Amino acid sequence: AHQWRGVIAEYADRLPAHLLERTVTLGEGGTPLVEAPVLSGRTGARVFLKVEGMNPTASFKDRGMTAAMSAAAARGAEAVVCASTGNTSASAAAYATRAGMVCAVLVPDGKIAMGKLSQAIAHGARLLQVDGNFDDCLVAARKLADSYAVELVNSVNPDRIEGQKTAAFEIVDALGDAPDIHVLPVGNAGNITAYWKGFREYAGQGDPGAPGADLPAVATRTPAMWGFQAAGAAPIVLGHPVTEPETVATAIRIGNPASWAQAEAARDESGGVIESVTDEQILAAHRVLSAEAGVFVEPGSAASVAGLLSRAERGLVPAGATVTVTVTGHGLKDPQWALRTLDGADVEPTRVGADVVSIADALGL
């Protein structure tokens, strides 16, 4: 019987050798690529969801974290630090525990989804709520790692990108070739950087010196990369940093992305776009995913689907195109959004007696 061994073991021939010395894994990756007929119907394309909430800590961050933590372990590191809007801290905390390291996390005050906060605490992280936003946290985390004996595991760490590029490999492996279009949410812009690197390498267009550059190409082409930011946190779309980013999608509440230039390169080299979607569009897409596609994601993840639907409404999705959409984190991370209507009213369960007649009555049977 074959058991998925985690992304480093599965894609060892296309990753830096130092990740194999002391691999720290929780079995991440191997996530389902789920066809979404509802979205195909709405867009006229053939749409698949890469469901990254199925990773060990329920977000895509685990792919990068296995790599960053394996590299840190190989160097004999004893402590790591990250800034986070929540998911990175949950992942770093879990992998640091596994590696026997101390994990410090800097999170913006009061804007972290409960599920993510509880994960970081459950895994024993040294959690500090910083008086500032994510961008302030990242500046502080970088300085801390520069001056003290702690390793930075944010996506500015190149090993994070190496790990996260495996999601692009998995998509091509599942479809037999690259999609026409790949869609994803953009926050700090590490993930769009990683996917573009992965798609290029699988099409034989990676750097000549990259691991696996001598292997035969797996894909015949690369997709157009479509990235979506939340309208209140859309620095790349606006062309300047946003000093006070705001959005219900707290995961991508980021005003000055670290991988800004790489995101623009992915957009331009792939013939893609980076656009913004409003909180209303994000919550509407969140509802379509949960109530019609059967896939429960956190709001930040729904930004990708919101963007796809928005472009479809404007007639910008080519008919019959193969479209893959990364939904980055699980809905249970931030479940409060399911418990209110799109108008903001609380959803209350209908109360009934324990007899079958009352129950059938309430169900309209």
> Given the rule CB under 6 A, which residues bind ligand F0G?
59, 61, 84-88, 155, 185-191, 251-252, 298, 300-301, 328-329
For ligand F0G, the closer of residues 46 and 310 by Cβ is: 310
| Residue 256, marked binder | no
| Residue 187, marked binder | yes
| Residue 328, marked binder | yes
Looking at the DSSP bridge assignments, the partners of residue 262 are none
| Residue 190, marked binder | yes
Question: Nearest distance from residue 364's CB to ligand F0G, in Å?
Answer: 37
For ligand F0G, the closer of residues 43 and 57 by Cβ is: 57
285: three-class secondary structure by DSSP: helix
- How far CA 260 is from CA of 71, 234, 267, 324, in Å, comes to 24, 11, 11, 22
For ligand F0G, the closer of residues 222 and 326 by Cβ is: 326
| Residue 188, marked binder | yes
Alpha-carbon span 293 to 305, nearest angstrom? 11
For ligand F0G, the closer of residues 46 and 134 by Cβ is: 134
Cβ atoms of 239 and 276 within 8 Å: the answer is: no
Question: Nearest distance from residue 236's CB to ligand F0G, in Å?
Answer: 10
Let me know the angle formed at the C-alpha of 152 by 55 and 28, rounded to the nearest 5 degrees.
15
Question: Nearest distance from residue 249's CB to ligand F0G, in Å?
Answer: 8
| Residue 87, marked binder | yes
Alpha-carbon span 9 to 208, nearest angstrom? 22
Question: Nearest distance from residue 154's CB to ligand F0G, in Å?
Answer: 8
Question: Nearest distance from residue 44's CB to ligand F0G, in Å?
Answer: 26
- Structure letter (DSSP) for residue 349: P
Question: Nearest distance from residue 332's CB to ligand F0G, in Å?
Answer: 12
For ligand F0G, the closer of residues 84 and 324 by Cβ is: 84
For ligand F0G, the closer of residues 77 and 189 by Cβ is: 189
Could you tell me which residues come within 8 angstroms of residue 138 by beta carbon, excluding any fewer than 6 positions away?
Answer: 83, 154, 156, 188, 258
Task: Say what the alpha-carbon torsion angle 276, 278, 281, 287 is, to the nearest 10 degrees.
Answer: 110
User: Exposed, middle or buried: residue 40 (CB in 10 Å: 0-12, 13-18, 19+)?
Assistant: middle
Residues that constitute the known binding site: 87, 187-191, 328
Residues that constitute the known binding site for pyridoxal 5'-phosphate: 87, 187-191, 328
